[in-house]
Amino acid sequence: MIETKGKPNWCPGCGNYGIWESLKGAIKELKLKSENIVITSGIGCSSKISHWIRTYALNGLHGRALPLAEGIKLANPKLTVITCGGDGDGYAEGGNHFIHFCRSNINVKYFVHDNQIYGLTKGQPSPTSDEGFITKTTPYGTIEKAINPILLAIASGATFVARGYAGDINHLKNLMKQAIKHKGAAIIDILQPCVSFNNKNTYKWYQERIYKLEKSSDSRIEAMKIAEQWGKKIPIGIIYQSNEPTYEERIPAINNKTKPANSIKSLIDELK
Ligand X SMILES: Cc1ncc(C[n+]2csc(CCOP(=O)(O)OP(=O)(O)O)c2C)c(N)n1
Q: Is 43 among the residues that bind ligand X (CB under 6 A)? A: yes
Instruction: Determine, following the binding rule CB under 6 A, whether residue 126 of this chain makes contact with ligand X.
Output: yes
User: Minimum CB separation from ligand X for residue 272, in Å?
Assistant: 45
Q: Is 115 in the site for ligand X (CB under 6 A)?
A: yes
Q: Which residue's CB is nearer to ligand X, number 197 or number 247?
A: 197
Q: How far apart are CA 133 and CA 114, in angstroms?
A: 15
Smallest separation, CB 189 to ligand X (Å): 12
- Residue 118 or 240: the one with the smaller Cβ distance to ligand X is 118
Q: Which span (80-88, 140-148, 165-173, 231-239) binds ligand X, by CB under 6 A? A: 80-88
Q: Which part of the chain contacts ligand X (CB under 6 A), choosing from 24-32, 79-87, 175-183, 218-226?
A: 79-87
Binding ligand X by CB under 6 A: which of 15, 18, 25, 119? 119
Residues composing the chain: 272
Q: What's 15's DSSP letter?
A: T
Among 120, 213, 224, 234, binds ligand X (CB under 6 A): 120
Angle between helices 169-181 and 16-29 (to 10 degrees): 50
The continuous run of DSSP H or E covering 271 comes out as: helix 264-271
The least CB distance from residue 16 to ligand X, in Å, is: 7
Separation between Cα atoms, residue 223 and residue 99, nearest integer Å? 18
Please, where are the H alpha helices in 79-219?
87-88, 95-104, 149-155, 169-181, 203-207
Backbone angles phi, psi at 81, to 5 degrees: -115, 120
φ and ψ at residue 102, rounded to 5 degrees: -60, -45
Is residue 189 within 8 A of residue 42, CB to CB? The reply is no
Site pattern 93..112 for ligand X (x: CB under 6 A):
x-------------------
- Tell me whether residue 12 or residue 31 sits nearer to ligand X (CB atom): 12
Q: For residues 84, 150, 68 and 57, what is the CA-based torsion angle, rounded to 10 degrees?
A: 10
Binding site residues, ligand X, CB under 6 A: 43-46, 62, 85-89, 93, 113, 115, 117-121, 126
